[in-house]
Structure 1
Amino acid sequence: MKKTLLILTLCGLTLVAKSQNTSVEKSTFGLQTGVLGIWVYNEAKLSNTIALRTEVGFDFGIWETTYYDDYNSPFLLTPVIVVEPRYYYNLKKRSENSKRIDGNSGNFIALKTSYHPELAILNTDDAPVVSDFAIIPTWGIRRNIGEHLNYEVGLGVGYSHTFAERAGYSKDKSELELNMHLRIGYRF
C-alpha cells in the first residue's frame, strides 16, 4: 500500500511539474525566408502564452501603377520592421499530447504591426518615395522540423495606409490588406 501511494504521488508530481513547464520560450531567435522576402526575428516571453515578436527584414514586391498613371511597376526590395504580439493558444494541449512546443511550436493569434520606411533597394530612379504602415490580425501555426528548422503559415486581413510622394505630388491610400505567409526558418 505504501509503495502504491509513493508511486501515485511521484506520478502526480510529475504531471504537475510537466503542466507548469508549458510556456512559450523565454527568448527565441532565428532567420526565416519565404517566397516574398527574408527576415530575422526574436520572440520574447511576456507570459506563459504570449510572446512579443520583433522582426526586421526585406520584403519583395511590385509597385502598383494606380498611384501614378505614367509609372511602370518596378520590382522592389524594401526593408520592413514588424512588432507582433502573439498569443499561443494550444501549447498546453500539444504538451499533454506529447507534441513539441520548443521554439514556440504551436498555433497562434497575432496582431501584426508592420512599417516599410521610405527606402527601396532594387528600384528605378524615377520611382515614387513610398512608405506604409499596416495592422493585421493574423492566425497562424509554427511547427518544428528537426532540431533547428521550422516552418510557419499565417493568414490575416487588416488595415494598411500607404504614403506615396513623387516630385512634390502626394497620393496617400488606405485599404484592406491581406497577410498570407508561408515561411521556412532556422532557429539559433
Structure 2
Amino acid sequence: MIKKIVIVFAFFFALSTVKAQDASVEKSVFGAQIGILGIWGHNEARLSNSIALRSEIGVEIGFYSSSLVKGSGAFAVPSITIEPRWYYNLNKRVSKSKRIDGNSGNFVSIKTNYHPDLLLTSINSNYNFISDLTIIPTWGIRRNIGKHFNYETAIGIGYIKYFEEENTFLDEADVGVNLHLRIGYRF
C-alpha cells in the first residue's frame, strides 16, 4: 500500500514540475482574404487560449444555368458568417518552434453562414435567388507566409436551409459543403 502511495505521489510531483505551455490565440486579428469564388473581410476575437470567434462579411460569386429557361451566367451575393474556431494544436506548434502568430494552426469550427436575398448583380428575369442559412462543422488549417500574408484551407459537410421569398423557412433542407482555399492579408 505504501508503495502505491509513493508511486502516486511521485507521479503528481512529476506532473507539477512540468512547465505548462500557455500558447494562445491572439486577442484580435483583422484581415482580408480572397478565394476562387469571393472576397471577405474578417475579425477573430479571442474567447479563451485556444478558441476564437471569427466574424466575416464578404461577397461570393455563384453561377446559374438551366436547360428549361434559356440563359446562364454569374451573380454576386453578400455573405455573413459567424464561426467559433478551436485551434487545437497551438501548444504542439510552440513546442516544435513553429509560428502561431495570426492564429496560425489547425482548427475545428462550426461555420454558420447566411446569404441574404440581396443580389449585387443582375440575373436573368426568369430566375429568383433564394436566401439560405448553412451550419457546417469544418476542419481546416491556416499558415503564415511572411509577416502579413497567410493561406487557409478548410473542408466540412453540414446542413443548409433555404428561405422562401418572405424569409420564412421552406420545408426543404439539403447537405451543405464548405470547401475553401484562400490567400489573405493580416492587418
TM-score band, normalised by shorter chain: 0.7 to 0.9
* Alignment check: 8 A CA contact 2:158 2:175 kept: yes
> Quick one: which amino acid aligns to residue 93 of structure 1?
K
Asked if residue 149 in structure 1 is aligned to residue 133 in structure 2, the reply is no
Residue in 1 that maps onto 2:132: 132
Query: Residue by residue, what CA displacement relative to the aligned partner does 1:86-140 show, whole Å, maximum 9, x if unpaired?
Result: 0000000000100000000000001000000111112225131421100000000
Asked if the contact 1:119/1:130 (under 8 Å) is kept, the reply is no
2:136, 2:57 → 1: CA distance? 17
Give unpaired runs (5+ residues) of structure 1.
Answer: 1-14
Identity of aligned residues (%): 53
Partner of 1:56: 57
For the 8 Å contact 1:74–1:123, the answer to whether it is kept is no
Question: How far off is 1:78 after superposition?
Answer: 0.4
Matched, 1:91 2:90: yes
The C-alpha deviation readout for 1:7-26, integer Å capped at 9, x for no partner, is: xxxxxxxx948x22x00000
TM-score (ref. length: structure 2): 0.82
CA contact (8 A) 2:88 2:107 kept: yes
The two structures have a TM-score, normalised by structure 1, of 0.82
Distance 2:171 2:73 in 1: 19
* Equivalent residue number for residue 184 of structure 1: 183
- Over the aligned positions, Cα root-mean-square deviation in angstroms equals 2.3
1:27 counterpart residue number? 28
What SS does structure 1 have at the residue aligned with 2:83? Answer: strand
Give how far 1:74 is off: 3.0
CA 183–117 in structure 1, closer or farther in 2 if over 3 Å, else same:
same
Check conservation: 1:86, 1:109, Cα contact below 8 A. Answer: yes
